[in-house]
Each structure stands twice: as C-alpha cells, then as structure tokens.
C-alpha cells in the first residue's frame, strides 16, 4: 500500500502543478533530456540497490524477512520517486513555468515504479532471489505460489 501512496503523491503533485502553472509550455529540450537522464540514473541506482542487498541468514525468521524486504523496498521507492520531485523543483526554476515540465519526468517515473517496485509477482520473485541467495528461506516464493514449507 505504501508503494501506491508514493505513486499517488506524484499524481496529486501533478494536479497541484497544473493549478500553480497551468500554461502548456514545453521545457527546453536540454531540460527534458536532463530530467529523463536523472530518471535513467535513478533506475540504475534502484537496480544497484537490489543487487547489493544483503541476503538473509539461513535461519531467518519471518520478522527478519519482513525487515529485509522493507530495507530493500523503501529506498528503491524513494530513489525512483526522486526524478519527479526534481522535475517539480525544475518547473519553478524555469522562467516559463509550466506543469508540463513536471510531467516530463513524472509520467515515466510512474511507469518505472509500476514495473520495478509495485509488489507484483516479478518484483517479489526478484526480492526472493536476492534474499534467498545464501540458502535462506525467505518464504516469498512460497507465498507467491501458495505452497507451504
């Protein structure tokens, strides 16, 4: 649910940006490219956080699994949300203020968050692969398949 709260905040900021700067003015090309570049860096950093996550110890409990998933998931959400927030700041910094400047990174950010951090099957399988790396049993794979151990 927290993931959707992060994503919903971006949508609400788009509505606020529209009322604050309703003009439809495209930002300069270099600004758009820079904002999209920040998103690419954020996606890379999010993936790096996933790859560098610490696997669970072999005798991990359910509480340890929950804490490990939180410690992995929350920073990834924050990193992926950052480009949209940078776009919001950029919107106010440009002489021709327009909500479109915010939308340039916000829309792809929402797509990236939907693909990479919304807790669906693929995301949880990737988390399980990392957390179960040392032979631990996080239980995420069992939870996904509905089996019990």
The pLDDT profile of the chain, 149 residues, written as one tens digit per residue, is 789 999 999 999 999 999 999 999 999 999 999 999 999 999 999 999 998 888 888 777 778 888 888 889 999 999 999 999 999 999 999 999 999 999 999 999 999 999 999 988 888 888 888 888 777 777 776 766 666 55
Instruction: Please tell me the distance from the alpha carbon of residue 93 to that of residue 104, in angstroms, as a whole number.
Output: 15
Tokens of 62: 């359910």
Q: Is the pTM of this model over 0.75?
A: yes
> In the chain, where are the structural domains located?
2-20+39-144
* Rg (alpha carbons) of the chain, rounded to whole number: 18
Nearest residue to 119 via CA among 92, 140, 98: 140
């Amino acid at each position: 649910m927290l993931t959707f709260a992060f994503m919903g905040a971006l949508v609400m900021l788009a509505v606020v940006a529209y009322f604050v700067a309703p003009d439809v003015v495209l930002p300069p090309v270099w600004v758009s490219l820079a904002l999209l570049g920040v998103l690419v860096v954020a996606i890379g950093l999010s993936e790096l956080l996933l790859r560098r996550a610490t696997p669970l110890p072999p005798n991990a409990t359910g509480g340890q699994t929950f804490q490990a998933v939180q410690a992995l998931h929350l920073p990834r959400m924050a990193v992926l949300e950052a480009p949209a927030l940078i776009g919001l700041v950029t919107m106010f910094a440009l002489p021709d203020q327009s909500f479109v400047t915010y939308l340039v990174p916000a829309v792809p950010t929402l797509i990236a968050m939907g693909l990479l951090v919304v807790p669906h099957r693929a995301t949880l399988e990737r988390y399980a692969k990392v957390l179960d790396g040392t032979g631990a049993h996080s239980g995420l794979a069992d939870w996904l398949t509905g089996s019990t151990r």
